[in-house]
């Protein structure tokens, strides 16, 4: 399979969330992922983009969110980056803790980790980068994992 890569830059708006989700859905579908996988990928991208727009960039009109979609032989790799002040991963509350169960926010990273095979979060002083990886079924990685 030929490696394919697309990159988008969005303003820090809620409209960007819908657009990013739509782009990821279209890309994943075109790359042969099944309906369930496409839904998982779309929801993970939505959560990651909401975090970038809301928590990372705080809707700042001068800050951008980037979405990169890449298909390799083994994986779909999605990278979402913001230009915020970064984050402290140790301060993210556990959404499954009893005191957090009824809260209406705080589940984005948990959901991304539930939907994707790999989630890497790299905070820095100049923003946060989230890498979401979904293994292609029938890939080398899946075959090795099943042995």
List, for residues 61-110, the tens digit of each pLDDT value.
Answer: 999 999 999 999 999 999 999 999 988 777 777 767 777 676 666 678 88
Domain 4-145 classified CATH 3.30.565.10?
yes
Determine the straight-line distance between the first and last CA of the chain, rounded to whole angstroms: 24
Residue range 29-61, pLDDT digits in tens: 999 999 999 999 999 999 999 999 999 999 999
Residue 141: Cβ-neighbour burial (10 angstroms; 0-12, 13-18, 19+) = middle
Helix (H, G, I), strand (E, B) or coil at 1: coil
């Amino acid at each position: 399979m030929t490696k394919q890569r697309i990159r988008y830059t969005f303003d820090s708006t809620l409209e960007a969330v819908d657009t990013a989700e739509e782009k990821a859905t279209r890309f994943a579908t075109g790359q042969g992922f099944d309906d369930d996988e496409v839904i998982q990928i779309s929801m993970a991208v939505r959560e990651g983009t909401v975090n970038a727009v809301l928590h990372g960039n705080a809707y700042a009109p001068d800050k951008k969110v980037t979405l990169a979609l890449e298909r390799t032989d083994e994986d779909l790799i999605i990278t979402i980056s913001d230009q915020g002040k970064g984050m402290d991963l140790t301060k993210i509350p556990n959404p499954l803790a009893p005191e957090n169960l009824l809260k209406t926010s705080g589940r984005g990273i948990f959901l991304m980790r539930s939907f994707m095979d790999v989630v890497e979060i790299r905070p820095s002083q100049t923003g946060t980068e989230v890498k979401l990886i979904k293994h292609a079924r029938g890939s080398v990685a899946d075959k090795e994992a099943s042995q």
